[in-house]
Chain A
Amino acid sequence: MSVIIFITLLCGIGAGVFVGSGIDAGIMEKMSSLLLLLLLFSVGIDMGLNKQVFSQIKKQGFKILLIPIGVAIGSLLGGSVVSLFFPQSLRECLAISSGMGWYSLSGILLTKAGNATGGTISFLANVMRELLTFVSVPFIAKHINYYCAIAPGGATAMDTTLAIISRNTNATIAVMAFVSGVCLTMIVPILVPVFL
């Protein structure tokens, strides 16, 4: 699956470069929103079919929140390691890592704070995080464990990358991924400014 996704992604980028400005970016955005809603509808059906989802989630209780907390801590740790090898300061690295894959917001926050270069890096890094998630989740689910498949998606686990997680794990993990994505989406606007 990872390979197919990677090829599809490359074809998409290639098609975009080839078509160039011939297509309005607004139309692309409408198309991806529509596809996303269709996809989530389909994921919702899968979740509903599994009757034990809620009892399993209930059984885990507060433990479910450990996943988004772990994703947040792990992202910040990963980002701070980058500051050891790159000219960016630790604060800047933490601000970029706090994007959790929400590229539109994290980029703008840094740019508005007067760091245009940091804003661009953050935008690109968080776009790439989402793309890496698409490519890596099938591999992670197969070779590490299902919980880890929630991790790379960050905030996107509640929407764009939810289907790839659900497709490669099970309904309970999909619900946990959604919850994790929602939690991380809520902390991005709070966490990024902390490091600016």
Chain B
Amino acid sequence: MINILLSLAFGFLIGYKKLLSEKMILLNGKFQTLVLLLLIFVMGMSIGIDREILTQLPMLGGTAFVFAVAVCLGSIVVVYVISRIFFKGEKKK
């Protein structure tokens, strides 16, 4: 938790103090996409090497998937309603 805050804050300061050139800012966007994909790959790998997950997936994976879809849809619907009522005046995009 503290590490997360520190890295965000450190990055924020660098951005806020305008320590980066235009070129570096563009590069930061590309860097972000690259690291994001790497992170997703590594997270996928952690699931792939976890034997316990793999043995339980055929039995409980279906139910778990239904839960995952249901909670995602439920939260999207409620936040949509809230955004239409309370964040109406603001731009949606």
A11 and B74 CA atoms in complex are apart in Å by 29
**Residues A81 and B16 in contact in the complex (CB < 8 Å), given A35-B39, A37-B4:** no
Is B71 a contact of A39 with CB atoms below 8 Å? no
Q: For residue B69, give the distance in angstroms from its CB to the closest CB of chain A.
A: 7
A41 to B33, CA, bound (A): 13
Most buried by B among A10, A11, A48, A121: A48
Write the nearest CB–CB distance from B33 to chain A, whole angstroms: 7
Among residues of B, the one whose C-beta sits closest to the C-beta of A100 is B71
Within 8 A of B (CB), among A23-46: 23, 25, 28-29, 31-33, 35-46
Q: Which of B4, B9, B44 contacts A15 (CB 8 A)?
A: B44
Q: How far is the CA of A24 from the CA of B74 in the complex (A)?
A: 37
B7 touches A40 (CB 8 A): yes
The secondary-structure label for the interface of chain A is helix
Q: Would A12 and B70 be within 8 Å (CB), given that A40-B7, A49-B15 are in contact?
A: no
> Which residues of A76-91 have CB atoms within 8 Å of chain B's CB atoms?
76-79, 81-82, 85-86, 88
| Residue on B nearest A130 in the bound complex, by CB | B43
- In the complex, are the beta carbons of B70 and A81 less than 8 A apart? yes
Chain B contact patch, size range = 35 or more
- A-B interface contact total, Cβ < 8 Å: 276
A118 to chain B, nearest CB (A): 10
A146 x B75 contact (CB < 8 A): no
Decide: A151 and B75 in contact? CB cutoff 8 A: yes
A77 to B73, CA, bound (A): 10
A81 and B74 form a contact (CB under 8 A): yes
Q: B46 in the interface, Cβ–Cβ < 8 Å?
A: yes
A178 to B12, CA, bound (A): 13
Q: A13's contact among B7, B13, B44, by CB below 8 Å, is which?
A: B44
Cβ of B66 to closest chain A Cβ, rounded Å: 6
Residues of A within 8 A of B31 (CB): 42
- Whether the pair B68, A128 counts as a contact (CB closer than 8 A) is yes
